[in-house]
Amino acid sequence: MIKKCLFPVAGYGTRFLPATKAMPKEILPILDKPLVQYGVEEALEAGLTDIGFVTGRGKRAIEDHFDVSYELEHQIRGTGKEKRLDGIRQLIEQCTFSYTRQSSMKGLGHAVLTGRNLIGDEPFGVVLADDLCFGDAGSGGTADGEGVLAQMIRLYHQFRCSIVAIEEIPADQTHHYGVIAGEALSDSLFRVSTMVEKPAPEAAPSNLAIIGRYVLTPDIFTLLEQTEPGKNGEIQLTDALLKQAVDGGVIAYKFAGRRFDCGSLHGFVEATNYCYQRFYGETDPPTVARFDRSR
């Protein structure tokens, strides 16, 4: 059973300054819920209840979010507002939360390696909260659709190796992503043979980009220890995964669902409109006049 999920959340979120000057980017809300809460809900749905955060300076609001707020609860007890905390209360009851700090930013690979003590010697999930993912409605036999991590955990039990989520991207966007190539096992599955971190379009092995969901086998930690700084002078998770891939140890999965790059303004707005439609059944973004304050 996979129980643990790592959330690297130490990054500064410079693309959202000044909003992220005093607030972690993971706390920015899509509608009324912080981005990171969507990620933890996805992990819990996949059965991952041991949540580990690799945090950094200025990220304490994340710890407070996943804890009880006695004063607030006391204030709203018995009022209609209480139910607004139901979702986060359930997460707090069903998950455990652990934290470790990444004191210097040396890349995603370094962040994952920093989380080693929280994970130990077992397979685990990784969620990059900037990438907001929703399963296709109705997939996996549930009305809301099976989440992307849950889909990947099923694949892990089939293949018993690392699984990365991928999606097709426009050819001129490869420099934003890790890009894979490999043998197609089906329409949605590839046995990865090569992967490159943020290649220029002419150097990209395909248009299949890794998005921020991983299931990793624990040998990744030793491989990360042995990984030299790569693209942008950072220790890249992609480079360590490539070492697993040469032994056939990485499956790339085109998931059933949608993903929004909430690390960009465009993706953030798109996600907001999508969620408003999906969760409130509204097709247009709210105007000030129409907005129902109880929502």
The minimum distance between CB 31 and ligand G1P, in angstroms, equals 22
First to last CA, the chain: 38
CA–CA separation, 150 and 156 (whole Å)? 10
The minimum distance between CB 123 and ligand G1P, in angstroms, equals 19
Asked whether the CA dihedral 260, 261, 263, 268 is positive or negative, the reply is negative
Q: Which is nearer to ligand G1P, 2 or 129 (CB)?
A: 129
Q: Which is nearer to ligand G1P, 100 or 264 (CB)?
A: 264
The minimum distance between CB 42 and ligand G1P, in angstroms, equals 15
Q: For ligand G1P, which residue has the nearest CB?
A: 178
Contact indicator for 5, 51 with CB cutoff of 8 Å: yes
The minimum distance between CB 241 and ligand G1P, in angstroms, equals 9
Q: Which is nearer to ligand G1P, 43 or 211 (CB)?
A: 211
The minimum distance between CB 49 and ligand G1P, in angstroms, equals 24
CA–CA separation, 42 and 31 (whole Å)? 17
CA–CA separation, 272 and 136 (whole Å)? 17
Helix (H) or strand (E) holding 215: strand 208-216
Type of residue found at 288: V
Chain-centroid distance, C-alpha 2 = 16
Q: Which is nearer to ligand G1P, 53 or 177 (CB)?
A: 177
The minimum distance between CB 126 and ligand G1P, in angstroms, equals 10
- For ligand G1P, the binding residues (CB under 6 A) are 108, 128, 131, 177-178, 197, 209-212, 236-238
Q: Which is nearer to ligand G1P, 3 or 175 (CB)?
A: 175
Q: Which is nearer to ligand G1P, 85 or 181 (CB)?
A: 181
Q: How many residues are present in the chain?
A: 295
The minimum distance between CB 197 and ligand G1P, in angstroms, equals 5
Q: Supply 3's token pair.
A: 């129980």
Q: Supply 171's token pair.
A: 């050819």
Q: Which is nearer to ligand G1P, 107 or 276 (CB)?
A: 107
CA–CA separation, 168 and 170 (whole Å)? 7
Task: Rounding to the nearest 10 degrees, give the CA dihedral for residues 34, 36, 41, 47.
Answer: -170
Question: Tokens 């990209």 — which residue?
Answer: 204
